[in-house]
C-alpha cells in the first residue's frame, strides 16, 4: 500500500508502506480498517520523529505468536512470543534519490489481543500504539536509558494524540506531561 499526497508535501512524510497480513485472524474485523490504521499510525510516528519532507519506506507484518516467537529467538535470543518487533534497515549507503528504507515492524496477534484485553483498551488503540512504538525504534529512538524512555514515551503519546488514542502511559512520565 502506498500512502502519498498528504496535505503539506514539504512538511508531511511521503510514505510507502507495505502491509502484509500473514495471520488471517487479523482480518476477523476486530480492528476496523487495519490498513488505514496502520498507515495513520506510521504517518503520525514519522511526523513526531522528524521524518518530514523525505520519501520513506516501511513494511508492517501482521503475524501470529509462533512466527514472532521464532523471530524473537533468532534475532534477540529470547525464545518467547512478544507483542512487536522492529527490524531496522541496514546503515549502508542509500542510492541517491532512493527512498529512506527504515525497516520492518512485526506484530503478533495473540499477544497483542491478550494485552489489549488485560489492559482494558480497544484493540485498535493498542495496535496503533505498537505500530508507533515500532516506527520510533526504526527512526532510531530507544528506551534503554531513563532519559531515552521518557523521550520515546512523550513522542508516542504525541503521535497517538494525533490519532485520537489516549496516552498509554497515563501522563506518568515528566516528558509526556510536558508534551501536552
The CA-based angle 162-52-152, given to 5 degrees, is 55
Q: Could you give the dihedral angle defined by the CA atoms of residues 145, 100, 108 and 149, in that order, rounded to the nearest 10 degrees?
A: 10
Query: pLDDT tens digits for 24-33?
Result: 999 987 898 9
Query: pLDDT tens digits for 39-75?
Result: 999 999 999 998 877 788 999 999 999 999 999 999 9
Q: Which residues pair with 108 in a beta bridge?
A: 63
Q: Is the pLDDT of residue 2 over 50?
A: no
pLDDT of residue 12: 53
Q: How many structural domains is the chain composed of? A: 1
Determine the average pLDDT of the residues in 77-106.
87
Q: What is the pTM of this model?
A: 0.85
What is the CATH classification number for the domain harbouring 94? 3.40.390.30
pLDDT of residue 5: 35
Range of the domain at 49: 2-179
pLDDT of residue 171: 57
Contact indicator for 105, 131 with CB cutoff of 8 Å:
yes
CA–CA dist 98, 167 (Å, integer)? 35
CA–CA dist 14, 55 (Å, integer)? 5
CA–CA dist 64, 24 (Å, integer)? 9
pLDDT of residue 29: 76
Contact indicator for 2, 93 with CB cutoff of 8 Å:
no
The whole-chain average pLDDT of the chain stands at 85
Amino acid at each position: 500500500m502506498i500512502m502519498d499526497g498528504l496535505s503539506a508535501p514539504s512538511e508531511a512524510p511521503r510514505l510507502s508502506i507495505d502491509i502484509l497480513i500473514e495471520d488471517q485472524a487479523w482480518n476477523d474485523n476486530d480492528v476496523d480498517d487495519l490498513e488505514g490504521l496502520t498507515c495513520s499510525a506510521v504517518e503520525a510516528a514519522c511526523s513526531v520523529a522528524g521524518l518530514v519532507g523525505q520519501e520513506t519506506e516501511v513494511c508492517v507484518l501482521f503475524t501470529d505468536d509462533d512466527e514472532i516467537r521464532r523471530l524473537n529467538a533468532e534475532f534477540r535470543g529470547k525464545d518467547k512470543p512478544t507483542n512487536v518487533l522492529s527490524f531496522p534497515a541496514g546503515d549502508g549507503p542509500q542510492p541517491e534519490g532512493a527512498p529512506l528504507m527504515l525497516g520492518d515492524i512485526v506484530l503478533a496477534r495473540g499477544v497483542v489481543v491478550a494485552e489489549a484485553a488485560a489492559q482494558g483498551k480497544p484493540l485498535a488503540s493498542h495496535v496503533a500504539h505498537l505500530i508507533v512504538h515500532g516506527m520510533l525504534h526504526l527512526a532510531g529512538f530507544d528506551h534503554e536509558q531513563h532519559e531515552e524512555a521518557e523521550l520515546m514515551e512523550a513522542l508516542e503519546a504525541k503521535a497517538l494524540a494525533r490519532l485520537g488514542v489516549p496516552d498509554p502511559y497515563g501522563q506518568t512520565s515528566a516528558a509526556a506531561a510536558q508534551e501536552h
